[in-house]
Every structure is written in structure tokens, then in C-alpha cells.
Structure 1
Amino acid sequence: MKLQFYKYQGTGNDFVMIDDRARKFDAANNALVRRLCDRRLGIGADGLILLRKHFDYDFEMVYFNADGYVGSMCGNGGRCTVAFAQFLGVIESATIFLAADGQHEGRIDADGTVHLRMQDVLGQQEIEEDGIFLDTGSPHLVRFLPPSTLAELNVFAEGRAIRYNERFRERGTNVNFVEAPSDPAQPWQVRTYERGVEDETFSCGTGVTAVALAASRRGAASPVHLRTIGGDLRVTFDAHPDGSFTHVFLSGPATRVFEGSIEV
């Protein structure tokens, strides 16, 4: 059978997008998802996303990690899905849709910038000497590094060691390594080891969201500008005295790269 697909990317975080409004894709076929995401034997992507109909929302986003299994929320994937929904004619420029962690709002500016409302962060933040652990739809450990050390860091080795250590082995975590700018007007530098992909990715939407919120504890004010390997993103939020964050938005580009069909 031929499967029609679309390839999207958001600051280098790339996804195989499937229009599954007819619900013909076998979501239980983990091996198929893995093969489609394989960069040598398939299409190649950090994850696969199904866009499905939903009675109560404009659509539902079902996200799979590159390992073939359903994942938690993906911020860049969410932004790409909003752009995909507009391309398909499902929405115009604004939407309310359902994802793994609940309801999300999205909107698209005339210049193509996609804004995605993330979940409020109301607690369960673990403050550490060199960082913070928090959940922004997916779990993230944010580690702050000394100046001029991020570029040379072995993110794969360091991130994998943390992701599979005794503390995180069972529940899993993404790991973000961060370098603060010397000039507050410049972006925070971020590199991320992503669980499910089990490698460094060019960008991670829930990751930069976590970094922005963690950075606010170090004096950063909304909006926070962040630079990943794949490009720049912006996070806005309302910070509260009790340490919670509301009205959190992730903003940046989401681009359709190509489309095609593949035998499955």
C-alpha cells in the first residue's frame, strides 16, 4: 500500500506528517513508525505525527517518537501540526486542538510564525545547584553551563549518561544544556538530548520552553529568545511569585519541506 506523507521541520526538528483523518494508519505498528523515521532506510525524522479528526476540537495530534512509540507532548511538532492543518484546509489562522497532554491553542501570523500555547507549569519543579527539572508537556532537565563551554560539549554522551542514570532510567527525561548570554539582548544558547530519539536533536520545543522558564529564575524576563542548532525560538510567559508559570507560548517557524508517497 502507498502511504502519502509530508515532511515538516521547525528549527531543524523534523517530522513525518500523515493526514489520518480517515484513520487508516495503523498506530499500533511501532515497527512501521520506526522504519518511516529511519534516516537511512525510511523517510527520516525525529518523529511521526498523525493529524486526526476529533469531535470536540479542530483536530487531534498524535505524536510518535522515532523509536516507534507514542510520545508525550512535542512543542515543535505541535507548531508543525498547526501549519499542516492550515495547509490541509482544516483551519484558517487560529485553532484549538488536542494533544497528548491536553488542549492547546495555536495561531499563525502572516509571515508564517506559528505560536503554540503550552501547558501552565504549576509546580513539581526540582531546583538543583546547576539547573532545574520540570515538565512542560514532556519532562526536562535543564543544566546551566559555564561560559564558552556549550559548543565543545559532547551532548550525546553527557545527555545519554543523565537520561539513563539511576534517577531517570525508569521515568526518562530530556536533557538540555544551556549557556546564558553575556549580553541580555542576545539569545540563550541551547543544545538538547532528546529521549525517544536517543540522540541530540537540532531543536526541541518543550525543551526550549523549559529552558526559558528555568532562565527566568536566573533573571531572564519574558519574552526569552533562545538559539538552537536549527534556529531561533521565542518563549513568552507570565511568571508568578509562587514559582508557577501561566500563559506560556512557544513561537517560531514551521516549514513544509517536501511531500511524497512510500510503499508500506
Structure 2
Amino acid sequence: MRVPFIKMHGLGNDFVVLDARRDTLPAMTGALAARIADRRTGIGCDQLILLEPSDSADFRMRIVNADGSEVGACGNATRAVVLLHGAPARIETDGGLLAAEPRDGGATVDMGRPRFGWDEIPLAYAMDTLSMPVGWDGLKTPAAVNVGNPHAVFFVPDCDAVALESLGPRIENDPLFPERVNVNVATVESRSRIRLRVWERGAGLTRACGTGACATAVAAMRRGLADRAVEVVLPGGPLDIRWGEDGRIAMTGPAREAYRGTFEWDDFA
């Protein structure tokens, strides 16, 4: 079975998009997604995105990390698929319903309301999620935020100096986080600008993470470090994040289609 795919990215966070809204595909498994995502023997991506019909929205988006684990939300992928859709859309995800609108070269996404309860992150036990009394090798007192995905946010003097390649997987898999966690290290440069690097659960270091930018911005705002509208600069480029008075997060940034191709399904099954 020859299957078409679309390679897309948001600030270098890259995706293989499979469109099953009209033509049904065989069942997608974590192992199959991981083989497609492999950068040496597959197509290569941070996440595989599967578009499906939805009874409650314009379409459903499933997000599978490079290691085969499925997650609830991906801000960069949402911008990419609504650009592909070519019109404003309501998108069903496991992390909730998202609304997105294409803009010139990108999109704005309503990421919904962040969650802060320890059991909503989730954590293994109750604690203050604005300043958690925990630490790992110099990274201390993170804030925890769920924006469709769980995030731990550390504010540091220089995010580029943090050994995230080694600390990221340790924190991601700590028993404190029963569903694992995305690890964000952020440097607040002004009340309107934050630099950020993210270790994504199931994908590792990526050039950009939309939900990470939202979680980091909201954590900085809750701590009084930033205004309600900030530019979050990731290795792949900037995202504009606004946390409205209604509690909803709006994320605006670019997305691009890189190329299209086909593959033989049985080669990866």
C-alpha cells in the first residue's frame, strides 16, 4: 500500500503528516510511528501527525512522538495542520479542543486554559506547582503547568548553559511525574522576552516546542516576571504568546511545508 505523506515543521520542530480524513489508513501503532520517525532508516521527524475525521470538530489530530508514545497536544503541529487545512478550524485532540486560524506564513492557535493543580499536571503527590520544592543538579524550584501536555519550567540565568541533554531525560522519567514530563529551561531577558530550550518527553531536544513556550510564558507571568504578552525565543525562532484575561492562551508563529512524498506501508509495518 503506497501512502502519501507531507513533511512540515514549525520553527524546525518537524512532522510527518498523514491525512486520513478521507482515505482510511491501516491502524497506526507506536512501533510503526517510531519506525517512520527514525531519521536514519525512516522518513524522520520529531512527531508523526495523523489527521482523522471527527464528530465534534473539523477534524481530529493524533500526535505520536518519535519514540512511539502518544501525547495530547502539540502547538507547532497545530499551526502546521491548520495551514495545510487552509481555513480556520476546530481541532479535536486528546488534550482538548483547539481552535486555529491560518495567518500569512503561519497561524494563531487558541491553546485553551492552562491547568495548575498537582493532580492535573499530574504529579505523584500534592505540592505547590508554582514553586515546586524539588531539584536536580542545580535545577531547582520549577513551576509545573499542563497545556495539553505536562511541563516543568526552570528559570535560570542562562538556558544555553544548562546540560539539558543529560538532565532532560533524568527529569522526564523521574517518578514524581507519572506520565513523564517536558523539561523547559528559560531565561527571562525582559518583561516581554524569554529565551527557552525544551527537552520534550518522547522526542528529546527539539528546535521548538509550542506547548512549552505557552507553559513557560504562563509560569513567568504567574511569578510576576513577565507581562501578559511575551515573545518566547526558541532555538528555531520566536513565538508570540498572550495569556488573555479570560484565561485562554493564544500562540502565534510560523509553520512551513517542506516537501511531499510517498512510502510503502509494509516497509514499516
> Normalised by the shorter chain, which TM-score bucket?
0.7 to 0.9
Is 16-25 or 58-67 further displaced after alignment?
A: 16-25
Further displaced range: 19-28 or 74-83: 19-28
State the secondary structure of the residue aligned to 1:118: strand
Shift of 1:174: 0.5
Q: 2:180 aligns with which of 142, 147, 172?
A: 172
Alpha-carbon shift at residue 152 of structure 1 (Å) = 2.5
Alpha-carbon distance between aligned partners in 2 of 1:232 and 1:116, rounded to the nearest angstrom: 15
1:202-241 alignment to 2 at 5 Å? 202-216=207-221, 217-239=223-245
For the pair 1:133 / 2:144, whether they are aligned, the reply is yes
Taking the TM superposition and a 5 Å limit, the aligned residue runs for 1:36-115 are 36-86=36-86, 92=87, 94-109=88-103, 111-115=104-108
Provide the secondary structure at the position in 2 that maps to 1:128: coil
- Partner Cα separation in structure 2 for residue 113 and residue 4 of structure 1: 23
Identity %: 32
TM-aligned CA deviation for residue 47 of structure 1:
0.6
The change in CA–CA distance for 1:4 and 1:140 in structure 2 (over 3 A counts) is same
Q: Contact 2:188/2:225 (CA < 8 Å) preserved in 1? A: no
Q: CA deviation at 1:247?
A: 2.2
Which of the numbers 189, 193, 200 marks the counterpart of 1:194? Answer: 200
By how many angstroms is 1:26 displaced? Answer: 2.9
5+ residue gaps, structure 2: 119-128, 133-140
**Contact 2:115 / 2:147 at 8 angstroms: preserved in 1?**
no
Which one of 143, 163, 172 corresponds to residue 154 of structure 2? 143
Report the TM-score, using the length of structure 2 for normalisation: 0.86
The alignment covers a number of residue pairs equal to 246
1:175-194 per-position Cα deviation (integer Å, ceiling 9, x unaligned)? 0000110x445x21100011
Instruction: Give the equivalent residue in structure 1 for 2:164.
Output: 155
Letter in structure 1 aligned against 2:253: G
State the match for 1:262 in structure 2.
263
Task: Note the C-alpha offset of 1:27.
Answer: 3.5
For 2:91 and 2:28, how far apart are their aligned partners in 1?
A: 22
Kindly indicate whether the alpha-carbon contact (under 8 Å) linking 2:79 and 2:102 is maintained by their aligned counterparts in 1.
Answer: no
CA–CA separation in structure 2 for the residues paired with 1:156 and 1:27: 33
Counterpart amino acid of residue 213 in structure 1: V
Secondary structure of the corresponding residue to residue 76 of structure 1: helix
Shift of 1:23: 5.1
The alpha-carbon distance between structure 1 residues 38 and 254, as it changes in their structure 2 partners (threshold 3 A), is: same
Partner secondary structure for residue 56 of structure 1: coil
Counterpart secondary structure, 1:158: helix
Q: Secondary structure at the match of 1:235?
A: strand
8 A Cα contact 2:72 2:96, kept in partner: no
Instruction: Check whether the contact 1:131–1:214 (CA below 8 A) recurs between aligned residues.
Output: no
Letter in 2 for 1:65: N
> Residue 16 of structure 1 aligns with which residue?
16
CA offsets per residue over residues 13-32 of structure 1, 9 Å max, x none?
A: 11000111135323343222
- CA RMSD in angstroms comes to 1.7
Per-residue CA distance 1:148-190 (angstroms, 9 max, x = gap): x32232211111121122312x321000000110x445x2110
Correspondence for 2:252:
251
Gaps (5+ residues) in structure 1?
A: 87-91, 240-244
Q: Distance in 2 between matches of 1:225 and 1:189?
A: 9
Instruction: Letter of the 1:257 partner, please give it.
Output: A
